Amino acid sequence: MNFLSKTLSSFSINSIPYTFKDKVIDSSSNSNVIDQNSIWNLYDGLNPKDSAKVSIFEFNLKDTANLQKRTDSLARNAFKKLKLIKFPGVISIIDFIENDNYLYIITEPVVPLLAYLRDNQHDNGISQDTKLFGIHSIAKSLQFLNMTCNCLHGNINLCNSVFVNELGDWKLFGFELLTNLQSDPDQPIYRLSNTMPGFNDVQSSEVQSSGIEGIRAFPIKFDSYKFGMFAYNILVEPDFNSITFNNNVVEQSKFANKTVIPLKLSNALKKLLSPNINLRITVEKFNQETESFLNANTVIEFNKQLEEIKFKNESEKLDFFKYELSTYVSDLEGDNSKNTFPPGLLDHKLLPELIGQYGNISKLKPTVDTTPAEIQQRQETIAVILNYILKFGVKLPTDMFNKLVKPVIMETFGLADRSVRLILLEHLASYEIFLTEADVQLKIFYNLISGFQDTNFMIRENTLKSITTIIDKVSVKQVNQDLLKVLAKSQMDPKPSIRVNTLILIIKISSKIYKTSKNNVLITALSKSLRDTFTPCKMMALSGFANLIEDFSLEEICSKILGHLAISLMDNKSSKVRVEAKRVFELYLQSVESHASTLPDDEDDIDAEEAEFFKNNTPKTENSTPLEDNGASVGGSLLKFSFLWSGKPEVGGALNNDFNSSTPDLTRVATPTSEPLNPIGSKSNTHKDNSWDGMDDDFDDGWAMNDDEVEIVKPLSATSKVPLVLKPLNKPKSTLNSNARKSGSLKLGRKPAAKQPGSTLKLNLVGDDNEVDGWGDDSVW
């Protein structure tokens, strides 16, 4: 039996050209009040032709339980009447399918009203404006049925007669008892009402006293009472999860509470619920009495504007989006719009209109007749519309966002308009979750970093913040080959906040920098910020040094970092910088001392020549210990050297001969050369390296390292009293005879020697390979 049931179910699902998804209502189940009061199974579905969402109402004509309850006649009546009635407030029908076993009604995607209220009662629930909007919509639909179609609905309730679509509109359904009061021979309201689930839960006084026949005198007033109870429950019910419908009792105290039932609505609602059928007003009269009040409702007025905008010309549409729209949504920030407007109204009704208008305006090209004022107005309108698109678009599901909003974003990033770019950057944090790595790397990144070159600091600053937002989706190659270049210039930006944020970003992307240059870049960037005039920039650099201590080697700490930290110890502007610099300096020094404590104390590798040197030049005192043969001890006293520069150095021992023979005589006067020596500090042989990998003390921008550029400085003792003179290595051969030299005359046709005398003092200025400067390159001081 179960196999047969599954087979029939599979057959029903595959017998119509729509795809069945989740089951929303199960009429055979008693699990909840919605299922109990419905004769239809409701499925979410898809239209295979365009993958559009639909809802599928299904009724099984062969189901034994349906036949026993005689609900098949109810289903056939609804099926037939929905084909005849078309109205904006009635659920939109896409297709009708009928076969021997099933009736199918394919509609726009909807959910039962009670489920809608339950799902949205979190976060303070839907607003009272939204409730009034829904009540007003159902009242208009009922008036159309009663007065224009001369029909009686007969079954208005919260469970199975009202549904809500994706746009937030409340749509009338539940036509099982719909009766044409003039031409319907079957008169379902009288014949079938006793078979309708939940029909007797809420009844008017005349039905309670005389049965269904009691409504014949004023049939449409039966709809008035049903609708009155419907509106009353919507307004006063605090918890739709526990609502019960076995109540015809109206609490008069609820009408006295103006926050629950507005005063201008309460009098008309009381008339709908009057037990005296003669005093009870029709739905049409209710609409007339409440028209001015309800039309002033924000949601109702806004929805009316959206419905009429399709019939306006282009200039009227632009005026609405640029000026009037702000009066409705300007104060809606975050999730407030969710509580003010019906869920879906902004996302599915307003947003498509905005996207359509944006596409129309952005595609317009200026002509020869277009004035600058018109161009500026058009750009302002684009910016305003884009702001609303991003503001409401982020609330969409991912598939809808990718379909509607993402193409707009990708296209707009290529526009050269500051106001548009600023809006894109301000909203980036909210829509970043919808962007894939491919979107960022291929379509956004290069347009985004162009903002670093903008002359407007707001664009530069927002670009920097935006890069921080999407940095996880930027490739390592783009970080090293493109981003670091612009950040090097950004670190010298005139705006202090940009310099601080640049350093924050550098620290954040440190894991993406190539290992071969990572530490040089970090040390140079942090060191540069330590010399910034802006105190927060210095503090951020110190924080960076503290957090990245594990990334640096002991050699880098000693040769490059400690010197820069030491400068901050004497910061003359901020005590906070000095205190933090001391903490970080001690942190680094502690790591160095910790390593140094593991090194051996004995010097076992002293050679014989070194031992002789220590032995002959260590001062002797009474308490000193003679130097051992291996030179391992210096008697506990300081090693002092005594060289007499007035004559030859007096160095005893075997080392004396080597010392004197290898050192030129500094007291003799050298033949002057034609090219003077460069003064100390001369820049003639100095090449500035404007990179983070090899930067000089001037902190020029640019981070590329040139290993072949070396700065050579010739040291000269400031305390030496003997001038440094140079002696020619060889006596130059002159082309002039002695007589010519004496007389000062030259023979014609003879050229002087081209080679000038050279110096006898050859200084080896090539430094130790292990000596590097503090910027991370191979320059030697």
Q: What is the DSSP string of 233-285?
A: HHHH-S-TTS---------HHHHH-TTTS-HHHHHHHHHHT-SSTTTPPPHHH
Q: Inform me whether the pLDDT recorded for 624 exceeds 60.
A: no
Burial status of residue 478 (CB atoms within 10 A of its CB: 0-12, 13-18, 19 or more):
middle
Distance CA 24, CA 156 (A): 20
pTM of the model: 0.68
Per-residue pLDDT band for 320 (boundaries 50, 70, 90) equals confident
What is residue 512's three-state secondary structure? helix
Residue with tokens 């009546």: 77
Across residues 309-315, what is the average pLDDT? 81
Q: Inform me whether the pLDDT recorded for 742 exceeds 50.
A: no
Higher pLDDT, 232 or 363: 232
Higher pLDDT, 723 or 595: 595
Q: Tell me: domain 113-297, CATH 1.10.3720.10, correct?
A: no
Whether the Cβ atoms of residue 438 and residue 444 lie closer than 8 Å to each other: no
The pLDDT of residue 124: 59
Strand order in the sheet with 110-112: 110-112, 162-165, 170-172
Distances (CA, A) of 738 to 150, 733, 752: 140, 12, 14
Across residues 740-757, what is the average pLDDT? 45
Q: Inform me whether the pLDDT recorded for 695 exceeds 80.
A: no
The pLDDT of residue 390: 93
pLDDT in tens, 256-302: 788 889 988 999 999 999 999 999 999 999 999 999 999 999 899 99
Whether 2-112 and 113-297 share one fold: the answer is: no
Q: Inform me whether the pLDDT recorded for 312 exceeds 90.
A: no
pLDDT in tens, 132-191: 999 999 999 999 999 999 999 999 998 899 999 999 999 999 999 999 998 888 899 999
CATH topology of domain 2-112: Phosphorylase Kinase; domain 1 (3.30.200)
Higher pLDDT, 216 or 252: 216
Average pLDDT, the chain: 79
pLDDT in tens, 587-603: 999 999 988 888 877 66
DSSP of 25-68: E-TT--SSHHHHT-SSEEEEEEETTTTEEEEEEEEETT-HHHHH
Whether the Cβ atoms of residue 74 and residue 188 lie closer than 8 Å to each other: yes
In the chain, what's the furthest Cα-to-Cα distance? 155
Per-residue pLDDT band for 20 (boundaries 50, 70, 90) equals very high
Of the CA atoms within 13 Å of residue 45, those in its CB half-sphere come to 25
* Phi-psi sector, 722: left (phi>0), alpha (psi -120 to 50), beta: beta
Window from 17-21, 70-74, 757-761 with minimum mean pLDDT: 757-761
* Amino acid identity, position 683: K
The pLDDT of residue 668: 52
Across residues 188-200, what is the average pLDDT? 91
Whether the Cβ atoms of residue 56 and residue 40 lie closer than 8 Å to each other: no
Window from 10-19, 81-90, 316-325, 427-436 with minimum mean pLDDT: 10-19
Higher pLDDT, 112 or 652: 112
The pLDDT of residue 781: 26
Whether the Cβ atoms of residue 342 and residue 134 lie closer than 8 Å to each other: yes
Q: Inform me whether the pLDDT recorded for 8 exceeds 70.
A: no
Partnered with residue 60 across adjacent β-strands are 102
* Amino acid identity, position 249: V
Window from 54-63, 448-457, 675-684 with minimum mean pLDDT: 675-684
Across residues 722-729, what is the average pLDDT? 45
The pLDDT of residue 427: 94
Using a pLDDT cut of 70, give the percent of the chain over it. Answer: 74
Distance CA 715, CA 203 (A): 109
Distance CA 454, CA 717 (A): 51
Q: Which of 136-150, 360-374, 689-703 has the highest mean pLDDT?
A: 136-150
Higher pLDDT, 662 or 238: 238
250-273 b/e with 16+ CB inside 10 Å = b?
A: beeeebeeeebbbeebbebbbbbb
222: number of Cβ within 10 Å: 25
Per-residue pLDDT band for 643 (boundaries 50, 70, 90) equals very low
Burial status of residue 488 (CB atoms within 10 A of its CB: 0-12, 13-18, 19 or more):
buried
* Amino acid identity, position 88: P
- Output phi, psi for 414, to 5 deg: -90, -5
Domain residue extents for the chain: 2-112, 113-297, 298-403, 514-598, 611-663, 665-736+756-781
Across residues 382-410, what is the average pLDDT? 91
Q: Inform me whether the pLDDT recorded for 740 exceeds 50.
A: no
